[in-house]
């Protein structure tokens, strides 16, 4: 992200790409374009049934990379407006680390609270209620993260990984099977919707929104 952002900024400053970008815009674009998504690699790993440790290493690296990229994007985008000054780098760095670590802490704390509630609620005899409560708890970290002006996505990622370890085992077997099936279906639907939206956005924008020089560089 740093190499891409600084590269675009100095190319823009030297008028090589024909368009001037502010530092905030360059950092925003760098954070966005540097976030990798190894979906195809993980699917291939699942089909080949590779060593689980290799699968989780690649998945964990991509999650951490995306988490940092998301927070960097959200922090840099705040300085695009005229009310912020990107030259205040110490302030920007403070916002970045506060957003990142604050989101991680909120996700972990909420997971601990939710795990205690699930464990002590004794809802094994009521699987439907237990499943509904679990789904609500999964969505709750995103809402709390956004309300606290942190990264709801990073908070959700943290809570999801911690929930798999501390909440999921406390569900009964029926709830585990049903919740896993529902979440798998929702995950596939959301993934299709995201890629569909991304593909349509490329052709629905006006032609004036594209620049040949920027695309080339």
Domain residue spans of the chain: 1-87, 97-217
Distance of CA 116 to the CA centre of its chain: 26
- Indicate whether 215 pLDDT > 70: no
Q: Residue 181's pLDDT band (boundaries 50, 70, 90)?
A: confident
Span of 4-8, 98-102, 183-187 with lowest mean pLDDT: 4-8
The two tokens of residue 173 are 């077997």
Q: Map 162-203 to HEC letters.
A: HHHHHCHHHCCHHHHHHHHHHHHHHHHHHHHHHHHHHHHHHH
Span of 28-37, 183-192, 205-214 with lowest mean pLDDT: 205-214
pLDDT surpasses 60 at 81: yes
Max distance between CA atoms of the chain, in angstroms, equals: 69
pLDDT score for 33: 78
Is residue 70 within 8 A of residue 35, CB to CB? The reply is yes
Q: Is the pLDDT of residue 217 over 80?
A: no
- Residue-wise pLDDT for 16-63, tens only, equals 776 777 777 888 888 777 766 666 677 777 777 777 777 777 777 777
Quote the pLDDT of residue 73. Answer: 79
Q: pLDDT value at position 34?
A: 74
- Structure pTM? 0.65
Between the CA of residue 58 and those of 40, 68, 99, 162, what are the distances in Å? 12, 16, 24, 18
Burial class (CB in 10 A: 0-12, 13-18, 19+), 109: middle
Rounded-to-integer distance, Cα 167 and Cα 169, Å: 6
């Amino acid at each position: 992200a740093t190499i891409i952002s600084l590269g675009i900024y100095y190319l823009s400053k030297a008028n090589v790409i024909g368009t001037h970008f502010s530092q905030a815009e360059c950092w925003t674009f760098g954070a966005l374009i540097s976030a990798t998504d190894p979906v195809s690699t993980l699917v291939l790993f699942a089909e080949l049934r590779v060593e689980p440790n290799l699968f989780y290493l690649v998945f964990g690296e991509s999650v951490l990379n995306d988490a940092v990229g998301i927070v960097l994007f959200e922090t840099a985008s705040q300085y695009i407006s005229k009310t912020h000054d990107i030259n205040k780098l110490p302030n920007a760095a403070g916002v970045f680390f506060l957003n990142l670590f604050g989101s991680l802490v909120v996700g972990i704390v909420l997971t601990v609270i939710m795990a205690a509630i699930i464990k002590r609620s004794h809802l094994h005899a009521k699987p439907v209620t237990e499943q509904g409560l679990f789904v609500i708890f999964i969505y709750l970290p995103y809402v709390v993260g956004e309300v606290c002006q942190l990264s709801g996505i990073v908070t959700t990622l943290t809570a999801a990984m911690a929930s798999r370890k501390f909440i999921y085992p406390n569900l009964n077997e029926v709830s585990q099977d049903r919740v896993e099936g529902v979440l798998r279906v929702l995950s596939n639907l959301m993934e299709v919707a995201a890629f569909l939206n991304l593909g349509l956005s490329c052709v629905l924008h006006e032609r004036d929104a594209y620049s040949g020089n920027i695309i080339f560089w």
